Homo-oligomer: A and B are copies of this chain.
Amino acid sequence: MPQPQIITESNARQKTLQWLESLQSNGYRLTSSRRAVVEVLATADQSLTAADLYRIGLERHKRLGLVSVYRTLEKLEELGLVQRVHRPDGCHAYISALEGHQHLLLCESCGRVEIFRGDNLKEFSRRLEGASGFEIHEHWLQFFGLCSQCH
């Protein structure tokens, strides 16, 4: 089994520009509301709920509406730029999309997210298909705990 490999954050400002460009080049207009949501989420090191994004986004765009947060997330998800994470409490949050096959490590206290590779589940998955008769399409692997700053 390979060592887990922590993925380092790529430059957050660059990510912001990429997301805005991606929205634009897909025919979406660049508005203050979208800018606010993108700037907050692309530079975050934590998973954020729609309500989080609304609250923080208001500091950048005073007239921001919660509805636009949802609509922007919808577009970003459709473009493969962000993804939803499911939390044990049942609440949904968003993070930058994972690239390729990666998995998550989430802080139960502050929401910090670490991304890693190296789970080596492909082999296990194939055996599970044989044993169960299922045709397996995807898997979730998420670890939960306390980050170094929270314990």
Query: Hey, which chain B residues are within 8 Å of A147, CB to CB?
Result: 132-134
Q: Which of A111-151 contact B (CB under 8 A)?
A: 114, 116, 118-121, 123-125, 127-129, 131-148, 151
**For this complex, into which size category does the number of interface residues on chain A fall?**
35 or more
- Cβ-neighbour of A134 out of B114, B133, B142 (below 8 A): B114
Q: Do B144 and A138 touch (CB < 8 A)?
A: yes
Q: Does A55 contact B (CB under 8 A)?
A: no
Cβ contact within 8 Å between B90 and A131:
no
B135 near A146 (CB under 8 angstroms)?
yes
In the complex, how many angstroms separate the beta carbon of A51 from the nearest chain B beta carbon?
Answer: 15
Q: Please indicate the chain B residues that have their CB under 8 angstroms from the CB of A124 in the complex.
A: 1, 4, 118-120
